[in-house]
Chain A
Amino acid sequence: MKAVGEERGLATLEMTLMIAILVPLLFSILEFGAALERWLAQDAATVQAARYAGEIGGDGAEVRGLLAEQLRASGIDPGVATIEIAPARVGWREPVRVSVSTEYRLAIPFLFTTTLPIRSSAISRGEVNR
């Protein structure tokens, strides 16, 4: 009986060790996957916003509204995103740049928790003949 008890204890110890190794691995895949998906979604929203900024001739409530809507649809809170549209007003054939920056909280159990900066930028050209 004592030997069986020892085996049980050993199995528990093994299980604990395996969980300590395999759970961080699994969460690394999930967390980094989610971060990359978010990066892709943010990039796509930024490109759309840049095109729209070119169409309306720079910064405006419409561009920010579109960007906020696109970010929200991708699961990103637009309230915490840093958005820059420069220059604020562009004329015919002038470049306009839209930059979006957010932070993603990466948490890997038993290893670390960190904040990952995600930055996206796109350039378009002004289409408004002022």
Chain B
Amino acid sequence: MNALRDDRASAAVTTVVLLPLLLTVLAAVLQLGALRVAAARVRAAADLATLVAVNDQDDAELSRTGSLRLAGDASDVAREYFERELELSEALLAVSSSEIAARADIAAYPSAPSVDARTGARYQRPAVRLAADVPVRTPIFGALAFQPVTTIGVLAVSSPR
């Protein structure tokens, strides 16, 4: 009977003692989920920006030679739209969308074939490539003694069809 008495309420005590740990794990899981949403948004922003940039063709070149050639301002357009897209998720970002877009490495390859100096990729069609590091807020990670800001690296390439 002594042994039984010693075990009294042990499960409840264990649960209460483990509660902070369980809550910490829950918070970390939620933060990880939010980070996944932020990463998907950043990726979509980069994809849309490069798509918008390559959709604009040099009409004069197309009618003269029949071949696709990007408009002269393709990289500027990609940067502008990357900023616009990120602006929609400003609350998730650790720095302003304009700053992220300004720092993004965007290169336009107006005619093909071409070789990307950054990635070494060979493009068989005109292309716009966007590479950026996007810092997003992760306050729960910060509270758990990790980094309060997590940087998401994104790389997007689009070519016209």
Contact = CB atoms under 8 A, between A and B. Distances in A.
Given A28-B26, A29-B26, A36-B37, 10 more contacts: A3-B1, A14-B12, A25-B22, A32-B30, A39-B37, A40-B40, A44-B44, A47-B47, A95-B84, A125-B81
B51 A51 contact: yes
A127 B51 CA distance: 11
A51 B47 CA distance: 11
Q: Say what secondary structure dominates the interface of chain A.
A: helix
Interface string A25-56: 10011001100100110011001001100100
A68 to B, nearest CB: 20
Summarize B's interface: helix, strand, loop or mixed: helix
A84 B90 CA distance: 20
B121 to A, nearest CB: 23
A10 interface: yes
A122 B88 contact: yes
Interface size class of B (residues with CB under 8 A): 20 to 34
B37 A7 contact: no
Interface string B36-56: 110011001001100110011
Nearest to B71: A93
B4 interface: yes
Contacts of A73: none
A44 B40 contact: yes
B84 A123 contact: yes
B15 A21 contact: yes
B8 interface: yes
B112 interface: no
B47 to A, nearest CB: 8
Contacts of B29: 29, 32-33
Contacts of B11: 14-15, 18
